[in-house]
Amino acid sequence: MSEPTLVVSKIRAGTVIDHIPAGRALDVLKIIGLSGREGTRTAIIMNVESKKLGKKDIVKIEGKFLGQHEVSIIALIAPTATINIVEDFKVVRKFKVEIPEVIEEIIICPNTTCITNKSNEPIKSRFRVLSRKPITMQCSYCSTLISEDDLYGLIKV
Ligand code: CTP
Ligand code: ZN
């Protein structure tokens, strides 16, 4: 017998962020700056079955269209995510998120003596992506390397 399916309404216009790794939907919303208090109609679907990922999360945001910066920072938390742009109930564009070459501010350097961690220095963190699969990033100030396993714990959300 097949599993019962979870039915969640389609949206009229806005963005569906699909194929988010299970359990990360709330972090995705946080990183794009949505708290829920904006009043935007949003559906958060967590830990549902996915053919590709086993389990996944989905976020549907009515009336919201993401900018380039928002799309690239989603990639840090949800590298498997697909962005679907919906208009008039139909998906009019679909693309995968992609990690940018340079990431500013979002990641905390794990080196406590790095200049970007000094509270009296107004310097934003800056990492260069050396490889994407697996992810390796390097701090532009102190050259500290971050691996894919470390990354999630170093993202400011
Ligand atoms: N979706 C929605 N409202 C719409 C159209 C689509 O909420 N008006 C959602 C669907 O529920 C799905 C996602 O947007 O979660 C992508 O829709 P679609 O491309 O139709 O689904 P799939 O073909 O299953 O997508 P994929 O191949 O990317 O897994
Ligand atoms: Zn550093």
Predicted TM-score (pTM) of this structure? 0.90
Task: Quote the mean pLDDT of the chain.
Answer: 93
| Residue 151 CB–ligand 1 contact under 6 Å | no
Predicted pLDDT of residue 53? 82
Higher pLDDT, 61 or 157: 61
What is the reported pLDDT for 3? 63
Question: Is the torsion defined by CA of 116, 130, 55, 41 positive or negative?
Answer: positive
Q: pLDDT confidence of 99, banded at 50, 70, 90? A: very high
Task: Answer yes or no: is the C-beta of 130 below 6 A from any ligand 1 atom.
Answer: no
Ligand 1 pocket, residue 20 CB under 6 Å = no
Statement: residue 7 has pLDDT above 80: no
Q: Is the pLDDT of residue 126 over 70?
A: yes
Instruction: For residue 14, report the distance from its CA to the centre of ligand 1, in Å.
Output: 12
Residue 1 pLDDT greater than 60, yes or no: no
Span 102-130, average pLDDT: 93
Query: From the alpha carbon of 60, which atom of ligand 1 is closest?
Result: 7
